[in-house]
Amino acid sequence: MIFFKRSETEKRAKKGDKSAILELIRKGKKDLARKLLENYEENEDLRKVLFDLYYEEDNYLQAYRLLEKYGGELGTARKRAEVYERVGNHALALEEYLKVGDWESISKAGNICRLTGNYQKALELLRRALSIAPPSARQPIEEKIEEVRERLGLEEKKKESLLEKFRKGLTKTREAVELGVLFKGRKVDEELFDELEEVLVRADVGVKTSLSIVEDLKKTAVRKNIRVSDDLKEETKRILKGILKGSEGKLNLQGKPSVLLVLGVNGSGKTTTIGKIAKRLTDQGKKVLLVAGDTFRAAAVEQLEAWSSRAGTSIVKKEEGSDPASVVYEGISRAVEEGYDTVIVDTAGRLHTKEPLINELRKIKKVVQKLLPQQPSEVLLVLDSTIGQNSIQQAKIFKEALDITGIAITKLDGSAKGGSLIAIWKELRIPIKLVGVGEGIYDLEDFKAEEYVEALVE
Ligand SMILES: Nc1nc2c(ncn2[C@@H]2O[C@H](COP(=O)(O)OP(=O)(O)OP(=O)(O)O)[C@@H](O)[C@H]2O)c(=O)[nH]1
Ligand SMILES: [Mg+2]
């Protein structure tokens, strides 16, 4: 009997009967329901059900695809806002959050403005949110307001020092390694050295390197007759700075236009870093063109577009699935014709298909050189510091494809593995040119080894 009823529902559902499909969903047959709904995507009513299902399953890209294709009447404003936010279309996310209008949404809208560097608007929205938020929700909003006010003040006075930024950024690593605690008022003995080695490994400095640092320290301790741990701290800094000698580099933007290729695996922070670099250059009065060479998914192009408008650059893009090399060709041609100073190329980073990826990157470079034989002046590999030393493996694969001229290390602000930077330098010997210390448009710094070590060991 039950069996009969179930197949009856499925039969109706297959014919596009909404209540039958809803029943399937209620009964947990979501895969089937989704498949059926996808066949009826053209139907306005069923499309709404499909959107809600995608949303529920955190399938933001598909939900976004529906919004793109059929216009923004699906779901509720709150759901749409979340989808837009997740795929990085901040302008539309903002619009939708403001439509919802409760304290939570206004606060989210304020946060988007904060992250995109629109601090004046962020302040206005966060204050509005604070005025209508329940007491229990006020603290985090107040903290954000504080941060934005600081930003506004700092921007006038010129930003906080690099050391400060590194200090803040490396908080998580420091918490994990507790070097400060370790070096405080301890006797210098074997136990201390063991612990030191352990915390260095924990910060992902690498086993071999950690061991050699500790060996070096032991010798120094004997030679200089060091008996209290506090004195070891300065020696540790000295050794680390020695290891990092030569690791600093500056972006090479020679030529007009100069071409910057940006590589890295999915989620490493390529697009964000491109946005930050672009902002830096346009602030210097440069004419910058972004090229959406990640044609693998539509949202990637959207994301780059959002950064492009924030940074005030132009963008060259094509539809999802286009040949990346052809987008690059178009971009470089346009940059030459229209006198751009710098072209920055975003690329796709799916590593699970290694060979095609390598071929694609080589092809992109070839296309660049067909038009501009001296370029790219910079091939920048973006590595995520939160995955620590695993990024070394990734880097090696990208090295197979192209000569990498510089590294950008991202998310140093959220990483307990900030020590991996040392291992990355030791292993790869490619200059570290930039570090990402937050999600905001100004959260990018030139790498400075001294400041990094000071912040790490302090
Ligand atoms: N905290 C922090 N987050 C960052 C930083 N850089 C990037 N992110 C975040 O990391 C996530 C991925 O960044 P994307 O720029 O989209 O990475 P991507 O390499 O372009 O990723 P794909 O386009 O998927 O290949 C986003 O949520 C960014 O906000 C950083 O320096 N600090
Ligand atoms: Mg990207």
* Distance of alpha carbon 134 from alpha carbon 117, whole angstroms: 27
Which of 86, 272, 277 is the pocket-test mutation for ligand 1 (most atoms within 8 Å of CB)? 272
The CB of 116 under 6 Å from ligand 1? The reply is no
For residue 392, the number of C-alpha atoms closer than 13 Å in the C-beta half-sphere is 16
Q: What is the pLDDT of residue 157?
A: 44
Lowest model confidence (mean pLDDT) among 11-25, 93-107, 148-162, 268-282: 148-162
| Residue 261 bridge partners (DSSP) | 345, 379
Q: Is the CB of 268 under 6 A from ligand 1?
A: yes
Atom of ligand 1 nearest to the CA of 275: 15
pLDDT of residue 106: 97
Per-residue DSSP letters for 153-206? HHHHH-PPPHHHHHHHHTHHHHHHH-HHHHTSS-B-SHHHHHHHHHHHHHTTS-
Identify the three-state secondary structure at position 429.
Answer: coil
> For residue 418, is pLDDT > 90?
no
Q: How far is the CA of 271 from the centre of ligand 1 (A)?
A: 7
User: Which residue from 89, 276, 307, 410 has its CB within 8 A of the most atoms of ligand 1, so it is best to mutate?
Assistant: 410
Q: Is the pLDDT of residue 266 over 90?
A: no
The residue-averaged pLDDT of 106-118 equals 93
For residue 49, report the distance from its CA to the centre of ligand 2, in Å: 29
- The stretch 18-23 carries a mean pLDDT of 94
| CA–CA distance, 334 with 422 (Å, rounded to integer) | 40
Q: Which ligand is nearest to the CA of 348?
A: 1
Q: Which range in 65-74, 104-113, 448-457 is most confidently predicted, on average pLDDT? A: 104-113
Q: Is the CB of 148 under 6 A from ligand 1?
A: no
Q: How many angstroms does the Cα of residue 264 sit away from the middle of ligand 2? A: 9
CA–centroid distance, residue 267 to ligand 1 (Å) = 5
What pLDDT score was predicted for residue 231? 87
In the chain, what percentage of residues exceed pLDDT 90?
63
Return the ligand number nearest the Cα of 349: 1
What's the rounded mean pLDDT across residues 371-396?
93
Q: pLDDT digits over 181-234, tens only?
A: 778 888 889 999 999 999 899 889 989 999 999 999 999 999 999 888 888 888
User: Per residue in 337-352, pLDDT tens?
Assistant: 999 999 999 998 876 6
Asked if pLDDT for residue 123 goes beyond 60, the answer is yes
Tell me the pLDDT band of 147, cut-offs 50, 70 and 90: confident
Going from the Cα of 266 to the center of ligand 1, the distance in angstroms, rounded, reads: 9
Cβ of 411 below 6 Å from ligand 1:
yes
Give residue 1's pLDDT band: very low, low, confident or very high (50, 70, 90).
very low
Q: Is 275 in the pocket of ligand 1 (CB under 6 A)?
A: no
Rounded to the nearest 10 degrees, how much is the dihedral formed by the CA atoms of 397, 87, 280, 324?
50
**What pTM does this model have?**
0.70
pLDDT (tens digit, 9 = 90+) per residue, 302-333? 889 999 988 999 999 998 888 999 999 999 99
Q: How many whole angstroms from 269 Cα to the centroid of ligand 2?
A: 7
